[in-house]
Structure 1
Amino acid sequence: MDVDPRRLAVLLAIQRAGGVLAAADTLRISPSAVSQQIARLEAETGVRVLDRRPTGAVLTAAGHVLAEAGERIESELTDVRRTLAALEGDVAGTVVVGAFQTVIRAVLVPMLLDLPRTLPGVELVVRETSPEGGQRALRTAAVDLLVLEADAQGEAPTPRGVRDVPFLDEPWIAVLPAGLTPPSTLVDLAGHTWLGVEPGTAAARAVERVARTLGTVPETAHRYADFDVAIALVAAGLGIALLPSLALQRVLPDGVQAVAVPGLGSRRLVVRHRVTRKEPRPEVLAVLEQIVEVAGALELA
């Protein structure tokens, strides 16, 4: 049996993505090209690898066996690329990044998908973490890079022994129930019921700053830490909120409007790393450069 390993990669993409159409999006080829590769794989192996149903295509038992073989080949090729990169003097090693939801979704996941091409010798490990837990992990070397947020108009000094590298300033956006008149100035935000924000977060500091500018203490109802929770509360008409642009990259639910209002300021994102005689390592700096590059290409509101 003579099997082209590239067809196994297509089958593996179908298994991971959950169907032919989704696999085509992942592989950036047409659905017909995916189907052609599967037809040729079935001809080469003499077995049916997909069970085509009205709800979509799923792998047969034989398809699962071949997909597992494709996964082993993929893993071995990744190891080979890392070894070759090390031999050529390119950076190689494992880099652990601690971050939170919006940065993981908008920056780190795209990086992970492209890393075999951009940094073949580097393994990137992402850990979702809180600022407090992340800073403990950075001190104990459990993470190499830590993403932190700050209200750009009220930054705190950087502790000794670490360095902060700013990589994105994203605007704060007013998020309101759709039935309210869209604000055009900060004054238009006064008098509304606000959603409370978890203390100590950049969003909480931004709300406090805006309140001081307005000379008022906003009436608050409920409290959120997760931005998706805030959007759900706004959609229910329970208050208004300030959210960073990255939290609004997906389609908003019905009943929610997002408005850029002059004077709201921005959220600053920084990457923190240790500074010692041996740190940061070359691979850590390489990943840091990638984070800056990917973030710089984002389209923000």
Structure 2
Amino acid sequence: MDIDPRRLRVLLAIARTGGVLAAADELRITPSAVSQQLNKLEDETKHALVVRTPKGSVLTPAGLAAAEAAEEIERALNVARARMEGGAELAGVVRVGGFTSFLRTIVIPHLPQWRVQYPQLQIRIFEDDLPALIRMLRQRELDAVVVELDSATAAQRSLPAGMSEEPMLDEPWKLVVPSDALIDTENVDLARLPLPWIGVEHSAANASVIGRLHRSTGGQVNTVHQYQETLTALALVAAGEGVAVVPALALSGVVQDGVDVLDVPGLGTRRIVLRRFDRRKSVNGPMDTVARLLRESVAAFDAHAVAQRP
């Protein structure tokens, strides 16, 4: 089976955006060009890769396998490019803001290694909610901010002038329910859950997911409580107070009795991006080096997560 790897980029864009038109916008080509490349890729693989529905395009099992291969190629190219760009001895302070699960899982475990690798480079992390971090970025109190988005609604936001955005990771949203709360965990109807949603702080990407589900199902979305940390959400779910949608990354290394974690079609994915101002063409500055280190850390984590899948 001979596959032109360049066509995989088109399939990956469809997977991330949820449709041909949105993929065309992201790739800056025409929708007909996207359809043509997809048709050729399906001819090459001899499999149907995408099913078009009234709510968008859904990848088939073969499409998911091809999209995973495309992500591996993308990660490998990013790491190779970063290594070729290299960098001499760097000195300076880089201030990066972000949210708990990314800082805890992707950044903090690598700080000792980065300190040895770049002894003159000081990486300072700041944890806060998104509005506060963006305000600090605009005031140049931070050099970059790691932002979480609901992939399905990511195209609806706009960036301030002069701000760039670099994709870091796409990961699945998970439905967390009290243990044995659902009789059938294979066919979950998101519009008819037996418990209310646990409310999340409004600026979090989880809130966008709940709003999107409300619009798509046409049902009433009732929320109770309000949380900011995933551990709080899990505790509330374990207590039988409701259900929650959380990203896979936030569950890494977390053990919580009394909950079931489910993969449910329709939840979509969380997109993690790095935002900063005044991105230079040079790749040898302190901030550019930190961005490269973050990409490499994400790639290593994602590769490990894929290897651990049953």
**Which TM-score bucket, shorter chain as reference?**
0.5 to 0.7
TM-score scaled to structure 1, two decimals? 0.66
The DSSP-based 3-state class of the residue aligned with 2:152 is coil
- Cα displacement (A) at 1:118: 3.5
Structure whose CA Rg is larger: 1
- Match among 185, 192, 197 for residue 183 of structure 1: 185
One-letter amino acid of the counterpart of residue 167, structure 1: M
Q: Give the aligned residue type for 2:250.
A: A
Cα distance per residue 1:230-253 (max 9 Å; x no partner): 011001010000000111112322
Tell me if structure 1 keeps the 8 A contact 2:94–2:143. yes
* Deviation of 1:197 (Å): 1.8
- Give the Cα–Cα distance (whole angstroms) in 2 for the partners of residues 277 and 168 of structure 1: 22
Hey, what's the Cα distance between the residues in 2 that align with 1:172 and 1:94?
A: 34
Superimposed CA distance per residue, residues 178-215 of structure 1 (whole angstroms, 9 cap, x where no aligned partner): 02125334525623321122223210100111222222
**1:263 Cα deviation (Å)?**
1.9
Q: Which moved more, 1:145-154 or 1:219-228?
A: 219-228
Runs of 4+ in 1 over 6 A off after TM superposition: 276-281
The question of whether the paired residues in 1 share the 8 Å contact of 2:198 and 2:223 is answered with yes
* 1:223 aligned residue: 226
Determine the structure 2 residue equivalent to 1:158. 159
Cα 1:295/1:163, change in 2 over 3 Å = same
2:177 maps to amino acid: L
**Paired residues of 2:147 and 2:272 also in contact (CA < 8 A):** yes
Structural mapping, 1:53-132, within 5 Å:
89-132=88-131
Amino acid in the other structure paired with 2:174: I
C-alpha distance 276-223 of structure 1, shift in aligned 2 (>3 A): closer
SS at match of 1:98: strand
Any residues of structure 2 matched to 1:110-259 within 5 Å, and which?
110-155=109-154, 156-181=157-182, 183-187=185-189, 190-192=192-194, 193-259=196-262
Conserved? CA contact 2:283–2:289, under 8 Å: no
Count of residue pairs brought into register by the alignment: 214
For residues 119 and 107 of structure 1, what CA distance do their matches in structure 2 show?
Answer: 18
1:285 maps to amino acid: D
2:264 aligned residue = 261
Structure 1: distance between partners of 2:174 and 2:180? 17
Partner residue, 1:37 = none
Partner of 1:169, secondary structure, is: strand
Per-residue CA deviation, residues 154-186 of structure 1 (Å, 9 max, x unaligned), is: 111222111011101111000000021253345
CA 1:150 to 1:261, structure 2 compared with 1: closer, same or farther past 3 Å? same
2:94 and 2:123 in contact (8 A); partners too: yes
Cα contact 1:187–1:214 (8 A) shared by 2: no
| C-alpha distance in 2 between matches for 1:146 and 1:174 | 27
Cα deviations across residues 254-276 of structure 1 (Å, max 9, x unaligned)? 11111111221011111111116
Residue aligning to 1:295: 298
> Residue 120 of structure 1: CA displacement?
3.4
Report SS of the residue matched to 1:209. helix
> In percent, how many aligned pairs have the same letter?
33
Q: In 2 relative to 1, CA 279–201 (structure 1 residues): closer, same or farther, beyond 3 Å?
A: farther
- When the two structures are superposed, what TM-score results if normalisation uses the length of structure 2? 0.64
Partner of 2:48: none
Does the Cα contact within 8 Å between 2:151 and 2:271 map onto a contact in 1?
A: yes
Output the aligned Cα RMSD: 2.2
User: 1:224 and 1:185 mapped to 2: Cα distance?
Assistant: 27
Describe the shift of the 1:277–1:147 C-alpha distance in structure 2 as closer, same or farther (beyond 3 A): closer
Q: Distance in 2 between matches of 1:208 and 1:260?
A: 19
Residue segments in structure 1 that go unaligned for 5+ positions in a row: 1-87
Q: Secondary structure at the match of 1:95?
A: strand
